[in-house]
């Protein structure tokens, strides 16, 4: 095999390995998540959304180059400083635009008709296939954050159950502060392949 061809093969293998090494880290506290987010992240507390209004259609939020839409089947409802579904047991979908988002975190929980948090299981699904389920019983244990080495294009909150509404609050979007382990592994693979090809061609 010619040295140049070996170099092309090594480069191709390294680039194809990117998807297989893609990693998303799940954080269970705001302190852990925010410690892995670069400066310039955008946090939305939804207080400016018309609280207790009639059902809202999809709502757009943007700041610092980041933007996203929040939508739900049957529209949204804002109450108590949080943004939720206006119908029982419907998924909330957050679709990201603008600058690439590789870090997203916030409070995710279910409420009843009176706006009280219910201890019910929620499932969070990212565009890269990452899925995590948990059962928050208060705002204290309702935080989940994700940092990834790939752009996150959507986050779906589902599964609050009958007679309950899915909610989000204090949503932070930004960029991961440090390379995830998969990025380091990919860098090592590419460098090793390059050195092996170079050594054999000498």
pLDDT of residue 106: 98
- Give the CA dihedral 180, 184, 186, 191, nearest 10 degrees: 160
Residue 6 CA to residue 200 CA, distance in Å, equals 9
- The residues near 93 (Cβ < 8 Å, ≥ 6 apart) are 70, 71, 72, 154, 155, 156, 157
Residue 144 CA to residue 167 CA, distance in Å, equals 13
pLDDT tens-digit map of 22-66: 699 999 999 999 999 999 999 999 998 887 776 788 999 999 999
Is residue 34 classed as helix, strand or coil in its secondary structure? helix
Q: Which of 108, 101, 111 is nearest to 175 (CA)?
A: 101
Radius of gyration of the chain (CA): 21
**Whether the Cβ atoms of residue 117 and residue 138 lie closer than 8 Å to each other:** yes
Between the ranges 21-30, 68-77, 193-202, where is the mean pLDDT highest?
Answer: 68-77
The domains found in the chain, sorted by start residue, are 23-197 (2.60.120)
pLDDT of residue 191: 46
Share of the chain above pLDDT 70, in %: 76
Give me 161's structure tokens.
């159950």
Strand partners, 104: 146, 173
Residue 59 CA to residue 79 CA, distance in Å, equals 14
- The rounded mean pLDDT for the chain is 84
Q: How many helices (H) and strands (E) does the chain have?
A: 3, 14
Residue 189 CA to residue 72 CA, distance in Å, equals 42
Selected residue with higher pLDDT from 41 and 195: 41
For the cut 90, the answer to whether the pLDDT of residue 16 exceeds it is no
What DSSP state is assigned to residue 55? Answer: P
């Amino acid at each position: 095999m010619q040295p140049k061809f070996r170099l092309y093969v090594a480069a191709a293998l390294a680039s194809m390995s990117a998807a297989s090494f893609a990693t998303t880290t799940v954080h269970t506290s705001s302190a852990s998540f925010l410690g892995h987010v670069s400066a310039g992240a955008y946090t939305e507390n939804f207080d400016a959304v018309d609280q207790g209004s009639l059902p809202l259609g999809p709502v757009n939020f943007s700041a610092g180059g980041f933007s996203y839409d929040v939508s739900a089947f049957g529209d949204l409802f804002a109450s108590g400083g949080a943004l939720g579904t206006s119908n029982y047991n419907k998924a909330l979908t957050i679709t990201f635009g603008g600058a690439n988002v590789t870090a997203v975190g916030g409070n995710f929980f279910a409420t009843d008709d009176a706006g009280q948090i219910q201890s019910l299981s929620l499932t969070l699904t990212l565009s890269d296939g990452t899925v995590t389920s948990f059962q928050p019983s208060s705002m204290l244990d309702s935080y989940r954050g994700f940092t990834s080495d790939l752009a996150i294009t959507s986050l779906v909150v589902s599964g609050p159950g009958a007679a309950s509404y899915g909610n989000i609050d204090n949503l932070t979007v930004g960029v991961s502060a440090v390379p995830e382990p998969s990025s380091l592994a990919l860098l090592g693979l590419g460098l090793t392949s390059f050195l092996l090809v170079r050594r054999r061609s000498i």
